[in-house]
A = this chain, B = another copy of it.
Amino acid sequence: SSVLATKNPIQESKPCKRLVLYYHDTLFNGTDVANATSAAVANATGLDKEHKFGMLVVFNDPMTKDHHLLSPPVAKAQGFYFYDMKDAYTAWFAYTLVFNSSEHKGTLNIMGADLMNDETRDLSVVGGTGDFFMARGICTFRTDTFQGDFYFRLKMDIKLYECY
């Protein structure tokens, strides 16, 4: 029997796997080496310094099951984001969720636009390894909080639609 790839019955409401995790980004302020988990590697450009156009941040951020920064991390998010809008804030992310616990071992690779003005925004899970071998899906961001320029927290609702 021949089955067209374009006809696979994937339903957005029925992921084969789902994980809800919180991402904590604590940006290096020049002195707080002990607590910071991310750092700017390129500064905002003159195109719009107020909205940080072009500022590029490398991160290695803890992922927790609840929204407490100090809860035990169940994964690390390793990657980068940069701001990419004039007159408002949007960002762009590419990163890997690295799991190394009794519950999950493996990685999920994610990329997409963080349209910060939207209440939720969808990025693509483009691949996975280990327990997440060859996974694909959607990662939905929701801003949980931000505190000044140096801490923000995102709720990441990860829905996989291809599981092997």
Chain A 110-151: CB-based contact to B (< 8 A → 1; otherwise 0):
011101000000111111111001101110000000000000
| A84 contacts partner chain B, Cβ-Cβ < 8 Å | yes
Nearest-neighbor residue (CB-CB) of A56 within chain B:
B41
User: A124 CB to closest chain B CB, in angstroms?
Assistant: 3
Please indicate the chain B residues that have their CB under 8 angstroms from the CB of A82 in the complex: 41, 58, 80
Please indicate the chain B residues that have their CB under 8 angstroms from the CB of A12 in the complex: 133
The contact of A58 among B1, B4, B53, B115, by CB within 8 Å, is B53
**Pair B96/A113 contact, Cβ less than 8 Å:** yes
Chain A 34-60: CB-based contact to B (< 8 A → 1; otherwise 0):
001111111101111000011110111
